[in-house]
Structure 1
């Protein structure tokens, strides 16, 4: 296949890829995958002994992210191996290049699992139940021996009053709460970026959980909160609340809800004025606007502050 047919995959990455797959493997096709915003993803079809196998190659190209976390490729590789050993439905790690010395940029090569992202389910209740059950099952994994620890992305002390919001003083109250003392919570293995666009479905069931770059030891409430803030933006606060109720049913006594982790997850999303996450559009979610994101985040914030009043 000619060099210009490889859909933007760097030549050095191609050479590294061929080395990992072996001389007998023939690259049948390479195409970019939609939905990725913080890294570049490619789907590879590889012919091996008259059999076609599919892989995913992730290239970490964002210099600012690599500057903060230079071990991203190794982090995802470790996460995939840890999750697979725990029996979770995750891609199988084939190879990784932590520094990018061999592949031009840090890279992870993994198997491609069957299934697709579903953002417009035909049965909302079953869909939420599937999300919640998968996350509760993930959190049963003991985190002992996993080296990565949870940290928040934003420093609440440095967050400024959001001029885009219609309830700016309420946001300031939220920053004050987040900057206060953290409640005690047991550690478990958490995905750290669990949301509907990182869950694959097949025949109405969850088939895989993908994008393990941020996995770590931490409180279950962070995963729950991150998924809830995504659901609030996608569908509104009521759906986020329905997910919480479903998760609590599946987690049982192992989980004690605390709105603090929801608030941390919400403030972690702040980076200027809220905009529609590009990945949602790539997966066919239309009808969203930046104005709607601002409105829904305000609404969700107020619902969380109401929960603090009840505590």
Structure 2
């Protein structure tokens, strides 16, 4: 694997530097080349098509002016032993334990607004009609799916963002990105903030997002129900991601309880 990394960038050699926490889908490490480049190596389970998808996405978004990593090399079919992708390393680290959760949420909102404002780029597919998402959107109301589509991350939660000195510097894990209504990303991020904190913080995120885009998110209550429903089957499995980033209190039982409470509030449209 390290020989492949070195060859991909024309270096003499490469070595393991450190592991990056928070990922639940891939094994993620920083590798350092002999010419002192620090790069991100992500390895996926055999047969996973995530690398194929992320290669297409990263080529289309071309770094988003530094907000997303740049593609260096990829082995989507696992010739090196497992499907692998090599990208640039964004400045900062994963961070979900801020001193000021409201400011944290506002930065997330403004960043998502900047993503949604970008042209999707060539080669990106409609997330909603992709085969892998068919079951996920089966119960989604038609009026939501018919809303205008934008560049969509598809897994925009705090653990997929990078921070430095309290400022959000980048967004990672783009393998699911494509085009979809804005409410898809917005509701997923709101659910993450509900699980981490509460509705006050989630609403601060939404207000920052809406202020940045200049319009209100249509049907946000329906989108909240959609996100909660989509999380219901496996929210317990999210615990390692939260705990690995410093929220040891968010175990499987706690996440289930918080989701149940939020589903009741969202379903009853309580304010």
- TM category, shorter: 0.7 to 0.9
Instruction: Say which one has the larger Rg.
Output: 1
Corresponding residue to 2:20 among 33, 36, 54? 33
C-alpha distance in 2 between matches for 1:147 and 1:156: 18
2:112–2:209 Cα contact (<8 Å) kept: yes
C-alpha distance in 2 between matches for 1:58 and 1:296: 31
Give ranges in structure 1 of 5+ residues lacking alignment: 1-12, 158-177
2:51–2:76 Cα contact (<8 Å) kept: yes
Q: 2:52 — aligned with what? A: 74
C-alpha distance in 2 between matches for 1:43 and 1:179: 38
C-alpha distance in 1 between matches for 2:235 and 2:221: 23
Q: CA deviation at 1:274?
A: 3.0
2:232–2:259 Cα contact (<8 Å) kept: no
**Residues 144-178 of structure 1 deviation map (CA, whole Å, 9 limit, x = unaligned):** 52332213464577xxxxxxxxxxxxxxxxxxxx4
Q: 1:96 — aligned with what? A: 74
- TM-score normalised by L of structure 1: 0.77
Residue 153 to residue 267, structure 1, CA distance change in 2 (3 Å): farther
Corresponding residue to 1:195 among 154, 157, 165? 157
| Aligned pairs, number | 266
C-alpha distance in 1 between matches for 2:255 and 2:151: 30
C-alpha distance in 1 between matches for 2:137 and 2:114: 31
Q: Secondary structure at the match of 1:74?
A: helix
C-alpha distance in 1 between matches for 2:124 and 2:237: 33
2:95–2:163 Cα contact (<8 Å) kept: yes
**Residues 5-41 of structure 1 deviation map (CA, whole Å, 9 limit, x = unaligned):** xxxxxxxx2332232122x333243433222221111
Q: 1:235 — aligned with what? A: 197
Q: 2:169 — aligned with what? A: 207
Q: CA deviation at 1:254?
A: 7.1
Alignment of 1:46-125 (within 5 A): 46-48=33-35, 52-61=36-45, 63=47, 66=48, 70=49, 72-84=50-62, 86-87=64-65, 89-101=67-79, 103-125=80-102
C-alpha distance in 1 between matches for 2:137 and 2:38: 43
Q: 2:32 — aligned with what? A: 45
- TM-score normalised by L of structure 2: 0.88
Q: Which deviates further from its counterpart, 267-276 or 188-197?
A: 267-276
C-alpha distance in 2 between matches for 1:213 and 1:254: 28
